[in-house]
Structure 1
Amino acid sequence: MTPAGLPRILLVSTGGTITMVHDPVKGLAPCQDASLLLERVPELRALAQVDLLPLADIDSSNLQPDLWLRLARAIHERMPFYDGFVVTHGTDTMAYTGAALAFMLQELPKPVVLTGSQVPLEDIGSDGRTNLINAFRVAILDLAEVVIVFGAQIIRGTRAKKTSAFDMQAFTTVNEVPLGTIGLTIRLHGPCHRRSKRKPLLRPFLDPDVAMMPVYPGIKPAVVAHLAATHHGLVLEGYGAGNLPTEGDASLCPAIAAATAAGTPVVVCTQCLVGSTEMELYQVGRAALQAGAIPAMDMTPETTLVKLMWVLGQGRDLATVESMMQKSFVGEVHEVG
């Protein structure tokens, strides 16, 4: 029996490795019974009164943007009835979902925590038990943000990136210190939003018609032009400080200029794990800016893509899109000036 007086937590299951089982034909495949999470980790009921919402049962490689809308609406609708939320999710696209929920659920009065595992919960040596327990511990803290809890780190949803398919510390925080670390105790670091009586703001805007691709030696400008012509927005992962090919027939500037003239934003982020686009620094960056490219500054590619979808869901005026992409809404970018 769950002790009375414990905080109420809603556990939202979407699938992922943490709930997967071994199938002799398919390999690791999603389990159909999310209630096994509570059966296999009974300690959760010592931390909180737990309700379960099985929202999806997928390998996160199959995630589509409409799941972000379903998640955001489900959490927002239930916000008055719980003290925190834990979302189990596959690791492959967790950083995208963390960013999406942060943009769609603003002015949060309590935490929304995403977690998962590298090894299925049923396997010996799984990190799922520890991650799930720690996610619940964070969900009852004095915190009010969308975060990813994985391994020993608490990471802001818009700053997370999966950096290892092997290590148990699969995620890292990019261009920002972790919001917290988990050791013998849980320590929160630096500025973060705390619990309050704020009224949560649901902003379920989304235009999924956005493409993203890295720049690479030999990239054909026609590929960039095609993507821009067939989508409402395009994210290019540039070299270094946001540099792009600008010389001769290999120049991407004409494709960027044509897309801009047609009202399609082209946003440039960096392929580097750490750092920011500083497109005024090099001639090649300046040429792209002059063609109409919008710098993503220090946002991750995952957050840049999701944010552009979210911004375009609110309108396609190019000046407004550029202004919103460079404004910080939920700590996703360090504004310049």
Structure 2
Amino acid sequence: QRHYGQYDGFVVIHGTDTMAFAASVLSFVLENLQKPVILTGAQVPIHALWNDGRENLLGALLMAGQYVIPEVCLFFQNQLFRGNRVTKVDSRRFAAFCSPNLPPLAVVGTDVTINQELVRKARGKAPLVVHSCMERDVGLLRLYPGIPAALVRAFLQPPLKGLVMETFGSGNGPTKPDLLRELQAAAERGLIIVNCTHCLQGAVTSDYAAGMAMAGAGIVSGSDMTSEAALAKLSYVLGQPGLSLDCRKELLARDLRGEMTLPAGAKGQPSLSRSTLGRGVAQLLTLSQGAIVSTQEADAVRDAVAPSLACAAAHAGNLEVLQALVELGSDLSLENFNGQTPLHAA
């Protein structure tokens, strides 16, 4: 944080065994990130004759120094991943990490291919916020067939405040009444339980009766988050002061840092095609995704047009357009060419 203003990007050298955990935690600790923070390491130490450390380090430096990707990322074996989407899948091969539910943000070969539509956009010019208050009393429990309810009860005791529970398939677990009673009792005590699948790919759903039963026990769906991301997110949410239990559960169900893929109907993205103003914002969205112009040009267009669009939306009472502009990273406190802000227009 002390050196944030001095550099355009950061590379963190990290051991591979816990790198996915560190990347996930950093993604929640660093809010309003405007610059790349890239973790990398090596399966074989860089001093060895045959190693992967040199290529990983050079690739991470290239991505941090040449591209504007304002996220916490992990670079390994010529691929740049979103940090809170990765997990380590091999203890020996150079291709040690994968992102099971999100393609790489970039691939380095003879050319560098950036998946611009996946890269998260920086929101306005808000200053970096470092969240140092992370709850430590969180845990990870993997269910298995026949797991005793007494063991689960012992695991759920204070001082535990939050639990990531790895379940079968699309979110199923044992349906024994005594086990479900333990989960229900823990939820009623205020313990937050996040349900993640132990499968490498896919998401938690409530399609099956067992999954529905567990959801009825007050458990929050972890969608397609990795266990590393779910644990980091739970620690972050529980570390936020002054929030009610319902607010914390709502935060856990939201996509905060690109860590989860929400169902199409739950993304909350407004339909912008019903008005001329909405269509204008939709075109601006297209620009911001790099479909027509470069990122720098899109930012310049957005900064020039957004204040007037925001004032027009405020005057018309169009909250959907205002929300879309916020998601673009527009600053709603900026004045338009008449010196008005959306608050004046409203």
TM range (shorter): 0.7 to 0.9
Counterpart Cα distance in 1 of 2:245 and 2:147: 26
SS at match of 1:291: coil
* Aligned partner of residue 211 in structure 1, secondary structure: strand
Give the AA of the match of 1:225. Answer: R
1:145 aligns with 2:71: yes
Q: Look up the match of 1:162.
A: 88
- Report the identity percentage: 36
Counterpart of 1:101, as a letter, is L
The equivalent residue for 2:269 is none
Q: For residue 177 of structure 1, what is the amino acid of its counterpart?
A: P
Q: Give the AA of the match of 1:235.
A: V
Amino acid corresponding to residue 245 of structure 2 in structure 1: L
**1:11 paired residue number:** none
Deviations 1:87-123, CA, capped at 9 Å, x for gaps: 0001111111111111111221111000000001111
- CA distance in 1 between partners of 2:51 and 2:90 (Å): 16
Residue 241 of structure 1, aligned match among 170, 183, 190: 170
Q: Which amino acid aligns with 1:83?
A: D
TM, length-normalised to structure 1: 0.74
Q: 1:334 aligns to what?
A: 261
| Cα contact 1:110–1:194 (8 A) shared by 2 | no
Shift of 1:334: 1.8
Query: Any idea what SS the aligned residue of 1:212 has?
Result: strand
Say whether 1:124 aligns with 2:53. Answer: no
State the distance in 1 between where 2:27 and 2:63 align. Answer: 16
- Partner of residue 228, structure 1: 156
Could you say what the CA RMSD is over the residues aligned between the two structures, in angstroms? 1.5
1:130 aligns to what SS in structure 2? helix
Which digits, 9 at most, give the CA deviation of each residue in 1:158-183, with x for residues without a partner? 10111111211111112111101111
1:194 Cα deviation from its structure 2 partner: 5.6
**How far 1:201 sits from its partner (Å)?**
2.3
For 2:186 and 2:245, the matched residues in 1 are separated by 11
Q: Following superposition, which runs of at least 4 residues in structure 1 exceed 4 angstroms of deviation?
A: 194-198
Segment drifting more, 187-196 vs 177-186: 187-196
Bigger Cα Rg? 2
Q: Which moved more, 1:154-163 or 1:309-318?
A: 309-318
* Partner residue in 2 for 1:259: 186
- Aligned partners of 2:21 and 2:228 also within 8 Å: yes
Q: Distance in 2 between matches of 1:238 and 1:153?
A: 29
**Change over 3 Å in CA distance of 1:292–1:197 after alignment to 2:** closer
1:264-320 CA-to-partner distances (Å, cap 9, x unmatched) read 111110000111000x21111111111111111111111001110111111463212
On the 8 A contact 1:113/1:135 being kept in 2, the answer is yes
- Match in the other structure for 1:270: 197
Cα distance in structure 2, aligned partners of 1:146 and 1:309: 17
2:231 and 2:148 map into 1 onto residues whose CA distance is 21
Aligned partner of residue 335 in structure 1, secondary structure: coil
- Tell me by how many angstroms 1:142 deviates: 2.0
Q: Identify if the C-alpha distance between structure 1 residues 206 and 199 changes in structure 2 by more than 3 Å, giving closer, same or farther.
A: same
CA separation in 1, counterparts of 2:139 and 2:176? 24
Residue 147 (structure 2) aligns with: 219
**1:206-248 superposed Cα distances (whole Å, 9 cap, x missing partner):** 0010110111122111222222113111111000011110135
In 1, distance between residues paired with 2:236 and 2:246?
A: 15
Partner of 1:205: 133
Question: Structure 2 CA distance, aligned partners of 1:293 and 1:224?
Answer: 15
Query: Structure 2 CA distance, aligned partners of 1:148 and 1:258?
Result: 39
Looking at structure 2, the residues matched to 169 and 198 of structure 1 have their Cα atoms a distance apart, in angstroms, of 36
User: Which TM-score applies when normalising by structure 2?
Assistant: 0.72
For 2:146 and 2:244, how far apart are their aligned partners in 1?
Answer: 32
Q: Residue 142 of structure 1 contacts residue 194 of structure 1 at CA under 8 Å; is this kept in 2?
A: no
Counterpart code for 2:114: L
Q: Which runs of 5+ in 2 are unaligned?
A: 267-346
2:14 to 86, 89, 92: 89
- In structure 1, the gaps of 5 or more residues are 1-75
CA distance, structure 1, for counterparts of residue 2 and residue 110 of structure 2:
35
Q: Tell me how far apart the structure 2 counterparts of residues 241 and 212 of structure 1 sit (CA, whole Å).
A: 18
Contact 1:152–1:169 at 8 Å: present in 2 too?
no
Corresponding residue for residue 274 of structure 2: none
1:7 alignment partner in structure 2: none
Equivalent residue for 1:186? 112
- Report what 1:71 is aligned to: none
Shift of 1:322: 1.1
